């Protein structure tokens, strides 16, 4: 579905990002994954190459909060492949700080990575996509972007901002043939969720109409659809992949 497309995926070293990198490679894409440290990037690349040495995948570890570092790495991808067809802004951090324990620094830290950093990737990539006549930008939102959560106010706030960014960029960039969408996962079995004890997981599962938590691959499948030409008339959409749990 993505034969010879060039994709940049942030937060690609584990969890949803890693599953998406793998799914894209299986579907013929060339992928550059961004991680936070060389060590985790190398580990992810070794694992992917172990699965299939033919896969065209490489990695980088720019500080996503530094616009110049991100712009440099995006430019290197353009130099290497001549184009960038797909950008997935997936890196993110969650938070469960109670309001009495918040500091403005903590709030800003979550907003910085989950929102501001997305713009650092988007700005240089849009220039490239406009020059080449189009592209696809996808963001990882969250189920809590529409319903909030009981603590950690910065996290749902940041993901609501991701939705706003997605809707607005879709409208602004549509005339340049750049589609912009987001996937809003529900509870998804990444390292963080897998580490929760069974007594915490079981009540959560009861609240999910499909009666299971999501797998990282469920989210990767949604990204695959939105990135592919199958979604050629889909833009400005926040696709919930949450088993209909929206509380
Ligand atoms: N797992 C869930 O239940 C769930 C639900 C809704 C949304 N999400 C969103 O999905 C995305 C991926 O999360 P995940 O569940 O795979 O979590 P994860 O913690 O397994 O992966 C997070 C990824 O983000 C990267 N990252 C974190 N901090 C970074 C930083 N400062 N600089 C650069 N990269 C950084 C990590 O390297 C990692 O690759 C996030 O945006 C998260 O908010 C997850």
Contact call for residues 10 and 89 (beta carbons, < 8 A): yes
pLDDT of residue 195: 75
pLDDT of residue 15: 97
* Domain 6-241 part of CATH 3.40.50.720: yes
User: What residue segments make up the domains of the chain, in order of their start?
Assistant: 6-241
Q: Hey, whose CA ends up nearest to atom 36 of ligand 1?
A: 11
* pLDDT tens digits for range 129-170: 999 999 999 999 999 999 999 999 999 999 999 999 999 999
Pocket of ligand 1 (CB under 6 A): 11, 13-17, 35-36, 64, 90-94, 113, 140, 142, 185, 187-188, 190-193
Atom number, ligand 1, closest to the C-alpha of residue 40: 37
pLDDT of residue 228: 98
pLDDT of residue 167: 98
Where are the strands (E) in the chain, listed by range?
6-10, 30-34, 57-60, 86-89, 135-140, 178-185, 238-241
pLDDT of residue 199: 84
CA distance 88 to 68: 19
Residue 60: CB partners within 8 Å, gap ≥ 6?
Answer: 32, 33, 34, 35, 41, 73, 76
């Amino acid at each position: 579905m993505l034969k010879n497309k060039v994709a940049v995926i942030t937060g690609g070293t584990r969890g949803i990002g890693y599953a998406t990198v793998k799914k894209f490679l299986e579907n013929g894409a060339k992928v550059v994954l961004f991680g936070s440290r060389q060590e985790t990037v190398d580990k992810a690349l070794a694992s992917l190459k172990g699965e299939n040495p033919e896969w065209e995948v490489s990695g980088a570890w720019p500080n996503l909060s530094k616009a110049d570092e991100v712009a440099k790495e995006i430019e290197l991808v353009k130099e290497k492949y001549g184009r960038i067809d797909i950008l997935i802004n997936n890196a993110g951090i969650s938070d469960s700080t109670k309001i009495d324990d918040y500091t403005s620094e903590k709030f800003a830290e979550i907003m910085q990575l989950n929102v501001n950093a997305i713009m650092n990737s988007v700005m240089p990539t849009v220039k490239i996509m406009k020059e080449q006549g189009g592209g696809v930008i996808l963001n990882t939102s969250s189920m809590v972007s529409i319903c909030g959560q009981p603590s950690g106010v910065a996290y749902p706030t940041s993901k609501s901002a991701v939705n706003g960014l997605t809707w607005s960029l879709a409208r602004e960039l549509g005339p340049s043939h750049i589609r912009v969408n987001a996937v809003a996962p529900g509870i998804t079995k990444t390292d963080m969720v897998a580490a929760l004890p069974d007594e915490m997981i079981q009540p959560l599962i009861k609240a999910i109409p499909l009666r299971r938590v999501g797998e990282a691959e469920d989210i990767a499948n949604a990204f695959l659809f939105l990135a592919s030409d199958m979604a050629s008339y889909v833009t400005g959409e926040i696709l919930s992949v949450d088993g209909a749990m929206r509380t």
